[in-house]
Amino acid sequence: MRVVVADDSLLTRAGVAYLLKQSGYTVAAEVDDAGTLLTAVRAEEPDLVVVDIRMPPTHTDEGLVAAERIRADHPRVGVLVLSQYVEPAYAMRLLRDHPERVGYLLKERVFDQAVLVDALRRLADGETVVDPTIVSRLLGRQRAKDPLAALTAREREVLALLAEGLSNKAIAARLTITERTVEAHVAQIFGKLGLLDDPSSHRRVLAVLAFVRSGG
């Protein structure tokens, strides 16, 4: 798997690249701004991109804009966006149009090699990955009209883990229940969120979107 790493911090960029190489990934390019990132993606045709949200020159959302461009122009490329801060609005913006193969993690978390590798594996498989801290923040918001009000407490737990990108098997292990029970909960969630049983649609991704949008 070929990866392009984009971060204006040399320490972060080199650290992520080192962890990737140690895990068997090929680092196709290391860049420090959004423009160079887009050029590198066109030239290297990587499988995955790891990019910080805040990039030069304004250090606001250049990385996020580049991520959106990559997902639109190169839909087979998975994009893992990193942020130093908990910014749910950015997560919702990123997932809105191109949820598949998109991940959003706090920067501190990717220095755990297991977390980084697991996130990239999920993206390569077409999954969506959202940082559990952001999931927790969204779940805890008070809203006048909650589209998830019909869900039971357990179903909300399952949906939160879906939002993190966990498989049914991983959710079962986390909650100490059977995988068949998880499947039943997921079916109930899909039904209550009005998601059709259509094998051609990414229902897990749609469920994540419904969850994330409920925090808006």
CA 73 to chain centre: 18
Residue 24's pLDDT is 96
Please state which architecture CATH assigns to domain 2-129. Answer: 3-Layer(aba) Sandwich (3.40)
CA 172 to chain centre: 20
Given the candidates 1.10.10.10, 3.40.50.300, 3.40.50.150, 3.40.980.10, the CATH classification of the domain at 137-213 is: 1.10.10.10
Residue 39's pLDDT is 97
Q: Which of 19-23, 25-29, 95-99 has the lowest mean pLDDT?
A: 95-99
Residue 32's pLDDT is 96
* Predicted structure pTM score: 0.82
Residue 114's pLDDT is 93
Residue-wise pLDDT for 142-186, tens only, equals 565 677 888 999 999 998 898 787 889 989 999 999 999 999 999
Q: Whole-angstrom Cα distance, residue 34 to residue 48? A: 15
Handedness of CA 69, 67, 209, 125 (dihedral sign): positive
Report yes or no: 40 and 86 within 8 Å, Cβ to Cβ: no
Q: What are the extents of the domains in the chain?
A: 2-129, 137-213
Region 105-130 average pLDDT: 91
